[in-house]
Amino acid sequence: MRTVLRLDSAPERQTPSRRHWLAGFEWFFLLVGLVALDTYVWVNTSSTLSQAYQDWAFDQTLRGQTSTIRGFVEDEFSWLFGSQREKVEAPEAAPKFQPMPQGKPPQPSEVIGRLEIPRLNLTVMVREGADGKTLHQAVGHIPGTALPGYAGNVALAGHRDTFFRALRNIKKDDTIELETENGTYRYLVESTDIVGPRDVGVLAASHGQTLTLVTCYPFYYVGSAPKRFIVHAAQVSPIPPRLRQQGS
């Protein structure tokens, strides 16, 4: 009796054309991945550099000095290579508690000040506007809301995956400071809230002096987040301007 072996599961040989297409797909997806990585690195690097310059320039303004790109680069290289930065003594002056001029609205992308939440180690510059370009560079002051120092609701918006990511850990009674050229205003967190994207009531004017921080929610949501995370804070008191020393 003759035995016949049937190899039904024998692997199918790939034709040269099929191998060519597979190799093409591999290179395509590799290229897409490299472009995505390059974009991510560029976006984060440009945001970091923009924040560093804005922070330095704001300190220069508080000292009454002119800020230039060249001065920023020289100062950073001086710090990088361990040289002592020249300390500039701030001129003595009476504390300025005059709020920002309310009659003339800030220009788009104009620097409003610097926001700090010490417990969260969050320090970020604040600019006028809530458009995409402004929020890429800083936290944005929402046009139409109060300016620091005036009665009303100062509303600031920021991206959940960059400048306002730390807000996921904010707590009641945390201190928030908003430093401007005319003085620094201190707030205490009263509560947090989660609302829908169309709930603009959180931006309504208040009778006192309040601060509202707005970002998207959930913080780790992939894509366009469906809700908004809100931080409500009330002003405690203005404090004297802090004229920081270089190298501090």
Q: Quick count: other Cβ atoms within 10 Å of Cβ 210? A: 20
Q: Quick count: other Cβ atoms within 10 Å of Cβ 57? A: 19
Is the CB of residue 233 less than 8 Å from the CB of residue 189? Answer: yes
The dihedral region occupied by 121, where left means phi > 0, alpha psi between -120 and 50, and beta the remainder, is left
Tell the burial category of 69 from Cβ atoms under 10 Å away from its Cβ (0-12, 13-18, 19+): exposed
**Position 61, amino acid:** T
**Sole residue written with tokens 């309310």:** 102
Catalytic position from the list 20, 136, 216, 232: 216
**Main-chain dihedrals φ then ψ at residue 94, nearest 5 degrees:** -65, 145
> Rounded to whole angstroms, what are the CA distances from 90 to 71, 93, 199, 209?
18, 9, 44, 29
> Would residue 159 show up in a list of annotated catalytic residues for this protein?
yes
> Would residue 136 show up in a list of annotated catalytic residues for this protein?
no
Supply 34's token pair.
């490299």
Catalytic position from the list 20, 136, 141, 159: 159
Is the CB of residue 184 less than 8 Å from the CB of residue 98? Answer: no
Active site residues: 159, 216
